Amino acid sequence: MKLSTKILIALALGVVAGLILNLAVPDAFSTLDKYVLKPVGTLFLNLIKMLVVPIVFFSIVLGTAGLGDPKKLGRVGAKTVGYFLGTTTIAIIIAMALALVFKPGVGDFETEGAKFEQQEAPAVTDTLLNIIPTNPIQAMTEGNMLQIIAFSVFVGFALTMLGSKTKGVMDLIEQGNDIMMYLVNVIMKFAPYGAFALIASAVGSQGMDAIKAMGLYMSVVILALFLHSVVAYGGSIALFAKKSPIWFFKGFAPAMSVAFSTSSSNATLPISMKTAQENLGVRKSISGFVQPLGATINMDGTAIMQGVATIFIAQVYDVNLGITEMLTVILTAVLASIGTAGVPGVGLIMLAMVLNSVGLPVEGIALILGVDRLLDMLRTAVNITGDAACAVIVDKGEDKHLGTREQEVSA
Q: Which is nearer to ligand ASP, 227 or 238 (CB)?
A: 227
Least distance from ligand ASP to the Cβ atom of residue 88, Å:
12
Q: Which is nearer to ligand ASP, 213 or 299 (CB)?
A: 299
Round to the nearest angstrom and report the end-to-end CA distance of the chain. Answer: 21
Residues of the shown chain interacting with ligand ASP in the complex, contacts defined by CB under 6 A: 263-265, 299, 302, 340, 342-347, 376, 379-380, 383
Q: Which residues have CB under 8 Å from 222's CB, separation 6+?
A: 375, 378
Q: Which is nearer to ligand ASP, 21 or 218 (CB)?
A: 218
Least distance from ligand ASP to the Cβ atom of residue 31, Å:
28
Least distance from ligand ASP to the Cβ atom of residue 344, Å:
5
Least distance from ligand ASP to the Cβ atom of residue 347, Å:
2
Q: Which is nearer to ligand ASP, 160 or 340 (CB)?
A: 340
Q: Which is nearer to ligand ASP, 283 or 379 (CB)?
A: 379
Q: What are the angstrom distances between the C-alpha of 380 and each of 122, 189, 248, 334, 387?
A: 20, 22, 17, 16, 11
Q: Which is nearer to ligand ASP, 67 or 303 (CB)?
A: 303
Least distance from ligand ASP to the Cβ atom of residue 281, Å:
24
Q: Which is nearer to ligand ASP, 14 or 66 (CB)?
A: 14
Least distance from ligand ASP to the Cβ atom of residue 201, Å:
16
Round to whole Å and give the CA distance between 280 and 167: 29
Round to whole Å and give the CA distance between 371 and 202: 11
Least distance from ligand ASP to the Cβ atom of residue 165, Å:
39
Q: Which is nearer to ligand ASP, 299 or 394 (CB)?
A: 299
User: In this chain, which residue has its C-beta nearest to ligand ASP?
Assistant: 347
Considering only CA atoms, which of 255, 91, 72 is closest in space to residue 157?
A: 72
Q: At what angle do helices 38-67 and 70-102 cross, to 10 degrees?
A: 140
Round to whole Å and give the CA distance between 96 and 104: 11
Q: What are the angstrom distances between the C-alpha of 113 and each of 11, 109, 119?
A: 36, 11, 18
Considering only CA atoms, which of 367, 315, 309 is closest in space to residue 336?
A: 309
254-263 in b/e form (b: 16+ CB < 10 A) is: bbbbbbbbbb
Our CA angle for 307, 99, 96, nearest 5°, is 40
Our CA angle for 326, 266, 215, nearest 5°, is 50
Per the CB < 8 A criterion, the answer to whether 133 and 147 are in contact is: yes
Q: Which is nearer to ligand ASP, 265 or 315 (CB)?
A: 265
Least distance from ligand ASP to the Cβ atom of residue 42, Å:
16
| DSSP letter, residue 121 | P
Q: Which residues have CB under 8 Å from 75's CB, separation 6+?
A: 401
Q: Which is nearer to ligand ASP, 303 or 394 (CB)?
A: 303
Least distance from ligand ASP to the Cβ atom of residue 291, Å:
13
Least distance from ligand ASP to the Cβ atom of residue 27, Å:
30
| DSSP letter, residue 36 | I
Our CA angle for 114, 265, 69, nearest 5°, is 135
